[in-house]
Structure 1
């Protein structure tokens, strides 16, 4: 047999053996995580109502933390859970409707794998302080109700104020995209952005929350969170005398003392023609009183105060009031020892700011505040279904925020950001639930990945060449044998004709 006949089969044998060796030696296991939707439930127990939130994320995480993509909510029937302290047996009945709704929203095969959390804030904290034994009965009844649901109940807890504000901070920065971004390969990488702070305006206090350096963290007012492979130290500065109710009381107390001789007292921070009767002791007593000197109390106990809708006078009055305040260091010491306010952007969570975002079309905070403080009672009522007594204080709150801004903080009035924030959380006042669950996704196990055999690009190219040679050699061998057979057949036919 000639070398031409031996070459094709030897090429086939060599290429085949080499390919088999390469496949066995240079392979590695490549994990493939199945893309499956996970669900998580958080119950937000507020002072007046409770909301059940359902969040969704895929099993693929970013450095152990979930990437939440969707949210839906259900308003629990009845009052806030703190109101059931005397009737804890009613807790289960109030939850029934929303738990049934959640069972329909989440696929049945995922019920047992869906973690369920309950978090209570201000009202339950207050109840715990005044009547320490009452919240235990409510939480016990609540635990029984949630454990009987088909979901994986994890815990029920009363969050401290710093904890809640820290989770608010997480939610805001998550929506702003300050923790991570997607690179060109579609993988999660650190965003490199500076985190934003959060100013939360409540009725009883104001809280300023921001990320700080580890060494500057205040141990009693801070929290350490692990998110997307990075550790964040979050600091909260609480100002108990600068909530909406306390700001109003301080302002009215000052007005009464300054205008006691006037027949009609004027409040430049209230809308024109709005009036309210104010009891002196209700605005002058307490730890947030402007002055503790009660020797010069005005004669009558009740005063009628009418709004004059004067933005300039309101700003001057609030500025003077806050400069004399000793209960909070927002103004005298702007937290420079904790974080640098000139380098931190803040998003404000306040009903007054929500209203201003929706009704005043101005990107400039000063102009927006002037426009809001100049609105009449008719305009305020037309733009919102909120009670007039609440709307009347929006000017005061916005002026307070404006003065904070002029002291070095930069507040975010970007409507597109706020719209995204609302879409992500439904009710922005319950934004802490998103941050709470994001933090807890670190503890939710990820589905075990499957594995595929993989080879390096260089080995793959070599195998491609070898198998091309294999196919070419096989084709040449087959072609050669066909040609030999045809020639042999042709020669036999020729010899038969020659014999004839």
Structure 2
């Protein structure tokens, strides 16, 4: 289960963090019998938001989380609650996608697939590379994964910190300044007051992408400019915000398609009264600009499709974390790739994605769980050996 609060929601005391972790534990209790909990590991992995805050504040959050999980009744060690590196977040999503895809199965001829995961604070890009090229990958982007059957995958796994959709949207507003009276990244009818200046939306996706490229993508860490960036290749699943935006807009094709200029133009032309139009104009424009900066749009040999699920399971780095944890724990392996059997009915990973504000640290208010139905589908509908 993932939690994704916005920066404005970090205005409560640390006690709120404990309460929210306890809510997650109650959620887990629905699926793990009481007699099995002491043998069921619980993990917490914080991502981009907590990586971006001062170390002392991040440590304070983790101390609260660790204390709460120790009292949860589940199997827990302090090292199981931590802040993961950007490349780890990227690689875990790749592991999840390719596990669900069947790429790790014994004698599988299913090629691996890359993943572009656009979150709120960062965007991750991960794909497999050959051993020769892997030796030239920067250490910060280098990740190797070994399946339970001993096969090693070498990955380029990069996290563009600060280039998640929410952070980028906020930063673009700040970068524009108060001298401009209109904002093309918002639909007609939208307005805000900045430094006493009234700014209105003009709903122009083309100009919005131009602003994104000129005001956000000139930094040396931006997509298309990062010095250690490798050219993308092959097939990619574009997930997280790529899917959520389409779902919020109730677009007919939520998955299996790539964002298009025509879609962005149409959404930016919606009136403010249309559901999700105020944020979706920027979102679709930003997604197109990001993919364009990567060189992933209308390029032969590169295929990008929005996907949330593969074979019934969610493409989620939390699943990748669960699988990696089980491998590191050296539990009994089965004959199918990295599928495993545990001494418990289900190994549950409670992964909490903490988005943190610069000035105050707490967990999200009640009701901010994102992206899941009441019944989790991390492991898909097929038999995986995890049940």
TM-score past 0.5 threshold: yes
Give the aligned partner of residue 406 of structure 1. Answer: 297
Whether the 8 Å CA contact 1:226–1:439 is kept in 2: the answer is no
Whether the 8 Å CA contact 1:270–1:395 is kept in 2: the answer is no
With the length of structure 1 as denominator, give the TM-score of the two structures.
Answer: 0.53
The 3 A distance-change label for structure 1 pair 364 and 420 is: closer
Report matched runs for 1:42-191 at 5 Å.
47=5, 85=14, 87=15, 91=18, 94-96=20-22, 99=25, 102-103=28-29, 105-107=31-33, 110-126=36-52, 129-131=55-57, 134-135=60-61, 137-146=63-72, 149=73, 151-154=74-77, 155-180=80-105, 188-191=106-109
Give the aligned partner of residue 188 of structure 2. Answer: 272
Runs of 4+ in 1 over 6 A off after TM superposition: none
Residue by residue, what CA displacement relative to the aligned partner does 1:74-131 show, whole Å, maximum 9, x if unpaired? xxxxx88x9664x48x72x555565455445334564443333232334444456143
Match of 2:136 among 198, 210, 216: 216
Quote how far apart the aligned CAs of 1:334 are: 8.5
CA RMSD of aligned residues (A): 3.9
For residues 4 and 265 of structure 2, the distance between their equivalents in structure 1, rounded to whole angstroms, comes to 32
Q: Given the alignment of the two structures, is residue 445 of structure 1 paired with residue 363 of structure 2, yes or no?
A: no
Residue by residue, what CA displacement relative to the aligned partner does 1:7-42 show, whole Å, maximum 9, x if unpaired? xxxxxxxxxxxxxxxxxxxxxxxxxxxxxxxxxxxx
Q: Which has the higher helix share?
A: 1
For residues 105 and 312 of structure 1, the distance between their equivalents in structure 2, rounded to whole angstroms, comes to 47
Q: Which has the higher strand share?
A: 1
For residues 86 and 235 of structure 2, the distance between their equivalents in structure 1, rounded to whole angstroms, comes to 21
Q: Select between 311-320 and 367-376 the one with higher mean Cα deviation.
A: 311-320
The 3 A distance-change label for structure 1 pair 192 and 346 is: closer
Q: Which has the larger radius of gyration?
A: 1
Q: Given the alignment of the two structures, is residue 351 of structure 1 paired with residue 206 of structure 2, yes or no?
A: no
Whether the 8 Å CA contact 2:49–2:121 is kept in 1: the answer is no
Quote how far apart the aligned CAs of 1:272 are: 1.3
Whether the 8 Å CA contact 2:236–2:303 is kept in 1: the answer is yes
SS in 2 for 1:198: strand
Q: Given the alignment of the two structures, is residue 310 of structure 1 paired with residue 204 of structure 2, yes or no?
A: yes
Whether the 8 Å CA contact 2:45–2:83 is kept in 1: the answer is yes
Quote how far apart the aligned CAs of 1:208 are: 2.1
Give the aligned partner of residue 155 of structure 2. Answer: 234
The 3 A distance-change label for structure 1 pair 273 and 331 is: same
Whether the 8 Å CA contact 2:46–2:84 is kept in 1: the answer is yes
For residues 318 and 437 of structure 1, the distance between their equivalents in structure 2, rounded to whole angstroms, comes to 36
The 3 A distance-change label for structure 1 pair 444 and 107 is: farther
SS in 2 for 1:396: helix
Whether the 8 Å CA contact 2:86–2:158 is kept in 1: the answer is no
SS in 1 for 2:290: helix
The 3 A distance-change label for structure 1 pair 303 and 236 is: farther
The 3 A distance-change label for structure 1 pair 190 and 48 is: same
Match of 1:330 among 223, 237, 245: 223
With the length of structure 2 as denominator, give the TM-score of the two structures.
Answer: 0.67
For residues 161 and 92 of structure 2, the distance between their equivalents in structure 1, rounded to whole angstroms, comes to 19
How many positions carry a matched residue from both structures? 319
Give the aligned partner of residue 206 of structure 1. Answer: 123
Whether the 8 Å CA contact 1:271–1:376 is kept in 2: the answer is yes
For residues 95 and 328 of structure 1, the distance between their equivalents in structure 2, rounded to whole angstroms, comes to 33
SS in 2 for 1:131: helix
Quote how far apart the aligned CAs of 1:434 are: 0.2
For residues 320 and 41 of structure 2, the distance between their equivalents in structure 1, rounded to whole angstroms, comes to 15
Whether the 8 Å CA contact 2:240–2:308 is kept in 1: the answer is no
Gaps of 5+ in 1: 1-42, 50-78, 181-187, 280-301, 450-500
The 3 A distance-change label for structure 1 pair 365 and 145 is: same
For residues 375 and 275 of structure 1, the distance between their equivalents in structure 2, rounded to whole angstroms, comes to 15
For residues 313 and 110 of structure 2, the distance between their equivalents in structure 1, rounded to whole angstroms, comes to 22
The 3 A distance-change label for structure 1 pair 439 and 200 is: same
Quote how far apart the aligned CAs of 1:435 are: 0.4
